[in-house]
A = this chain, B = another copy of it.
Amino acid sequence: MKSIIEILKENDIAPSMQRIKILEYLQSYKTHPTADMIYQALADEMPTLSKTTVYNTLKTFTEKGVLMALSLFGNEVRYEYNTEPHIHFKCTKCDKIYDLDKSFDHYNDDLIDGHKITEHHVNLRGICKICLRKVGD
C-alpha cells in the first residue's frame, strides 16, 4: 500500500508533520469527520496544532483531489479520504453517517442539458437500523 508521504508527494503537497497526521487520521477513521472533529482528535498528540492549519490542510487536500468534501444535511462540511463512488446515508436520530455500496448511475465528466458535471453526490436521510431498534423498545 502507498505510504502517506508518497500520496502527498504525488499530489505536489509537501509532507509536513501536520499534513501527514491529518491524512493519516482520515485514512484510519472513515467516520466523515468535520474539521473540528479532526482538530479535537489530533490536539492531544499535537498540542501546538492550530485549527486554522486543519482548515488550510483540508482545503489543500480537497483542491488537489486527495479528499472529498461532503455537504450532508447540516451547515458543516465533512471530509473523507477519496474512495470509489458511493452513497451516503445520514441518520436523523444519531447523526451517524453510513456508506452504502448500492450502485447508481453516476454522471461525472458527462454533459447533462449542456452542463458539465464534475461531481455527483447521492445523499439519503432517515433512521438507521440501530436507532430503529431503539424506537421499537
* A123 CB–B CB distance under 8 Å: yes
Contact assessment for B114 and A89 in the assembled complex, using a CB-CB cutoff below 8 Å: no
Contact at B112–A89, with CB atoms within 8 Å? Answer: yes
One digit per residue, 1 when the CB lies within 8 angstroms of any chain B CB and 0 when it does not, for chain A 66-94 equals: 00000111111100000000000101100
Q: How far apart are the CA atoms of A73 and B89 in the complex, in Å?
A: 16
As for how many copies of this chain the complex holds, the number is: 2
Is A43 an interface residue, CB under 8 A from the partner?
Answer: no
With A71-B72, A71-B73, A74-B71 as contacts: A115 and B127 at CB distance below 8 Å: yes
Cβ–Cβ contact B92 & A115, under 8 A: no
Size category, A interface: 35 or more
Partner of A100 from the list B112, B116, B123, B132 (CB cut-off 8 Å) is B112
Of the residues B74, B118, B125, contact of A117 by C-beta under 8 Å: B125
Smallest distance from the beta carbon of A100 to chain B beta carbons, Å? 6
Q: Which residues of chain B are within 8 angstroms of A129 by Cβ–Cβ distance? A: 113-115
Q: Is the CB of A100 within 8 A of B127?
A: no
Contact B107 A105 (CB under 8 A): no
- Residues of A participating in the B interface, judged by any CB pair closer than 8 Å: 71-77, 89, 91-92, 98, 100, 102, 104-105, 107, 112-129, 132
